[in-house]
Amino acid sequence: MRKKVTLKQLAKELNLSISTVSKSLKNDSEISQKTINRVHELASFYNYKPNALAVSLKSSKTKTIGIILPEILNHFFAKVLFGIEQEVSKSGYKILTCITNESYKKEVEYVEMLNYSSVDGFIVALSQETQVLNKLDHFKVLKRDNVPVIMFDRVSNEIDCDKVIVDDMEASKNAIQYLVNKGSKKIAVITTISDLSVAKLRLEGAKEVVSKNDKVSLIELSVKNTDGIEAEIEKFLRDNTIDAVLGLDETAAVITINMSHKLGYKIPKDISVIGFTDGLLAKHSYPKLTTVSQHAEELGARAAQILVNQLDNFVENHKPKTEVVKTSLIIRDSTN
Amino acid sequence: MRKKVTLKQLAKELNLSISTVSKSLKNDSEISQKTINRVHELASFYNYKPNALAVSLKSSKTKTIGIILPEILNHFFAKVLFGIEQEVSKSGYKILTCITNESYKKEVEYVEMLNYSSVDGFIVALSQETQVLNKLDHFKVLKRDNVPVIMFDRVSNEIDCDKVIVDDMEASKNAIQYLVNKGSKKIAVITTISDLSVAKLRLEGAKEVVSKNDKVSLIELSVKNTDGIEAEIEKFLRDNTIDAVLGLDETAAVITINMSHKLGYKIPKDISVIGFTDGLLAKHSYPKLTTVSQHAEELGARAAQILVNQLDNFVENHKPKTEVVKTSLIIRDSTN
DNA sequence: CTGTTAGCGCTTTCAC
DNA sequence: GTGAAAGCGCTAACAG
């Protein structure tokens, strides 16, 4: 086991004290140029790097950010993670990634674990179960410990922290309005995520637009994302005469497309489809899905920026803000 | 800033020495039961948790594993990551996740950074650029430092470490043989990842089977995954009379399906399609894609198991092994 | 200019 | 049974 070289060993070999070596490596003006050179030379010879643990223990900064995600197999969160990683690595931060699998219990455990691992801050999207139970004490502890938290997408009003969200209601309104303008009269909203705060906002937005148009009607289908989902959506499409579908999540939208094929409905001639998603399925569906893009990468990058900025430029008495990332309606073949 | 409670504070408040408190918390038999009880009581009152940094500095173990991935937006790697996370969290490990974006330079930087952050071990899939350049000194350093590394999927023979791979050649043979048995005569292999070791193995497997059947011929198409990819595959499908396609990656396979629709070829009547993938696209393609599943989650879980086992039960003179995770041909509508 | 010292929070050996 | 002391590797105030 070849051990990594330490200040102590460099000091010994150079016949200097540990502190002189330490200062030299920081090019401290107190130290003679000659010594500085000698130190640097030996240090780079041994490829010396300070032990991050020791530095962290001393400084109580770990340059590490805890990321709490409900899922990772969902492309949205994968994209957010990618955005976060890209952004924080620019500033020399590392990410500890935890996946709660939508479980409240795991979320609590992970938050505690990372807190005691001294992460400098958190970026969090709440688990579904947490949103349903609405128990948030684990985050209040962080607040008390003065650990910065940024929440994104799945946020809670009960926690006073910076947030980065998508304007789901607005996005939904735009999507429905677009369908209405195209002439849709009977619009279905299909969701597999009805428990989530974001789904509620999307539904609300849809209802609002429809309520202002007496010629347009709305019908809802909420299904669980299980094996029977395809059959359920198929039945729904057969039993209801509709001319447009807004899928509140990618799965709902793509299955709608596939089941429409199966039933012989032409897209977009017989039925237009829009889905909330940043996912790959949309691009590779046939026909290509018109989507409400949540700009997942940007969302992640923005959350990361806000956190890193807060960590690097220590802000006293920071007033938490909620930032809204704009969505865009990306029009593709399924409505065109 | 409410600071976390330390042994020192507990000791002071209990009028005990730090070491007595420390031992009490470990229920050391040296300490009287009465003291142990007093200590535990106050500790849980303050919700004391040992400072992970200090413990790590002392023990040179961080309970942290470095994960180096080429991509995360690729569903295969997302699944592997999920498998790893699930597995390591069972044993109280955390993961530091780094995404190289297929860049050699970033890979080197990340490996160094995590090494100096004292991760206990690594789980790695090589970046494409690293595989092309075949420069692996950054891993040799880990070997020298005695940091365990597990490579998966994108591995290198030059590094002597545990590996978990998929038997790509065998899997490819099985897929082609299946097509041949179904009566395919002119089979195309389409890839967007020809530089990767795995793609080479898959191609080799395909060739081998075809070479043993003089009634069957093989034709290759290698494309870059850029904007023009769809047009390129469309042209290829039009210009060549083929009755089956093996896509060496999900993108190739799914685009083949979509372009077949566009050209009016019926799947699987006119053309059968198989793809290497664990992704979602396959399940939501129309018709559903027959796939060679690489069991990504299992791959990740296995790599994690091997590493955790090595870390927790310190193995002297461990002889590196290469473990092969079985693939399976999952037959769906695109060949049936 | 360089070195001594204390301390971050913990574990562990050795004394009492 | 309990406590003192050293040390993990580093930084920084203070001496010289």
- Tens-digit pLDDT string for chain A (336 aa): 557 899 999 999 999 999 999 999 999 988 999 999 999 999 999 999 999 999 999 999 999 999 999 999 999 999 999 999 999 999 999 999 999 999 999 999 999 999 999 999 999 999 999 999 999 999 999 998 889 999 999 999 999 999 999 999 999 999 999 999 999 999 999 999 998 889 999 999 999 999 999 999 999 999 998 989 999 999 999 999 999 999 999 999 999 999 998 899 999 999 999 999 988 889 888 889 999 999 999 999 999 999 999 999 877 778 999 999 999 999 999 998
- Continuous segment of H or E residues that includes residue B5: none
Structure tokens at A191: 């969701």
Q: Report the DSSP beta bridge partners of residue A322.
A: A163
Nearest CB to B82 within list A62, A99, A286? A99
pLDDT score, position A145: 87
Q: Answer whether the bond into residue A320 is a cis peptide, omega within 30°.
A: no
Shortest Cα–Cα distance, A83 to chain B (Å) = 10
pLDDT score, position A2: 57
Enumerate the residues of chain B whose CB falls inside 8 A of the CB of residue A145: 1-2, 4
Q: How far is CA A8 from CA A22, A51, A117, B145, B308, in A?
A: 10, 12, 26, 18, 31
> pTM of the predicted model, to two decimals?
0.93
Structure tokens at A275: 């889905």
A285 touches chain B (CB under 8 A): yes
Bases along strand D below 7 A from a protein CB: 1-5, 7-13
User: If we measure between CA atoms, which residue out of A247, A239, A242 comes closest to residue A217?
Assistant: A242
Distance A40 CA to D14 C1' (A): 25
- Continuous segment of H or E residues that includes residue B80: helix B75-90
Shortest Cα–Cα distance, A74 to chain B (Å) = 9
- Burial of residue A329, with CB atoms counted within 10 A of its CB: 0-12 exposed, 13-18 middle, 19 or more buried: middle
- Continuous segment of H or E residues that includes residue B201: helix B197-211
How many CA atoms are closer than 13 Å to the CA of B161, on its beta-carbon side?
29
Q: Which residues of chain B have pLDDT under 50?
A: none
Q: Is A64 in contact with B255 (Cβ distance < 8 A)?
A: no
Q: Report the DSSP beta bridge partners of residue B292.
A: B276, B329
pLDDT score, position B2: 58
Q: Which DSSP string do the residues of B242-301 spell out, in sequence order?
A: -SEEEESSHHHHHHHHHHHHHHT--TTTT-EEEEE--SHHHHHSSSPPEEEE--HHHHHH
Structure tokens at B264: 């009016």
Count of other CB atoms within 10 angstroms of residue A103: 16
Chain A: residue whose CA lies nearest to B287: A258
Q: Report the DSSP beta bridge partners of residue A186.
A: A217
Cα Rg for chain B, rounded, in angstroms?
26
Enumerate the residues of chain A whose CB falls inside 8 A of the CB of residue B54: 57
pLDDT score, position B95: 97
pLDDT score, position B1: 52
Distance A34 CA to C4 C1' (A): 22
Distance CA A203, CA A194 (A): 9
Nearest CB to A2 within list B4, B51, B145? B145
Q: Report the DSSP beta bridge partners of residue B66.
A: B96, B122
Query: B82 with B300: CB under 8 angstroms?
Result: yes
> What residues contact residue A182 under an 8 Å CB cut-off, 6+ apart?
A244, A272, A335
Query: B306 with B105: CB under 8 angstroms?
Result: no
